[in-house]
Amino acid sequence: MSDLRITEAFLYMDYLRMSECIQISFAVCRIGMYTCFRALCCKGPPPARPEYDLVCIGLTGSGKTSLLSKLCSESPNSVVSTTGFSIKAVPFQNAILNVKELGGADNIRKYWSRYYQGSQGVIFVLDSASSEDDLETARNELHSALQHPQLCTLPFLILANHQDKPAARSVQEVKKYFELEPLARGKRWILQPCSLDDMDALKDSFSQLINLLEEKDHEAVRM
């Protein structure tokens, strides 16, 4: 074979390799453009938020209904004290809380335990500005809930409500009076101050509760 034909053969092979490289480059570009198009224009539905079933308890007048209604962006004019029980779906960015609120009247509290089954967490609301007698009653009810077989292993969010009132006890006073440190040792619980005037603090309290619920879920998966 002459030198000219050898040179032509090499040039033809270089041409084929260059053509292959160009085709690969175009293919990569097409894949990249398609991926970007899918990401920008064809997003699927966002992943479903986990849902948790909670029970909310506390004496009449503690503010359970008002707090939950505010979290659900309901009009304060439509708030009526719960006499039996009500259920609200409270949405958060990373979870939905299906809250079963139980009325706190004397003749209803004795039936609370009938509604505990299936709960994954507990919200206990107390009036931090209440009378000594009501505070004592609230303490007894919280102690009973913390030790109930269906609730004792669940995360608790304890809200010291009405912090905007002059007679409100501080969180430290509530913790000491309710004897939470010795009683709830080893349990998952959060004690937070709250009022309707500070929704950021209230939402932060619920975010902490959601973290506890997620931790409990992860522990169950590991087991």
Asked if residue 98 belongs to a known ligand binding site, the reply is no
Asked if residue 62 belongs to a known ligand binding site, the reply is yes
Asked if residue 60 belongs to a known ligand binding site, the reply is yes
- Cβ–Cβ contacts within 10 Å for residue 13, how many? 10
Residue 7, H or E segment: helix 3-41
22: amino acid identity, one letter: I
Asked if residue 207 belongs to a known ligand binding site, the reply is no
Asked if residue 161 belongs to a known ligand binding site, the reply is yes
Candidates 131, 195, 187; CA nearest to 160 is 195
Assess contact for 126 and 159: CB atoms under 8 A: yes
Assess contact for 103 and 84: CB atoms under 8 A: yes
Asked if residue 104 belongs to a known ligand binding site, the reply is yes
Candidates 198, 178, 201, 197; CA nearest to 189 is 178
Asked if residue 66 belongs to a known ligand binding site, the reply is no
Report the alpha-carbon distance of residue 75 to residue 201 in Å, rounded.
20
Asked if residue 58 belongs to a known ligand binding site, the reply is yes
Q: How far, CA to CA in Å, does 67 sit from each of 56, 171, 205?
A: 11, 18, 12
Interior CA angle at 74 toward 141 and 82, to 5°?
30
Binding-site annotation: residue ranges: 58-65, 82, 104, 161-164
Binding-site annotation: residue ranges for Mg(2+): 65, 82
Binding-site annotation: residue ranges for GTP: 58-65, 104, 161-164
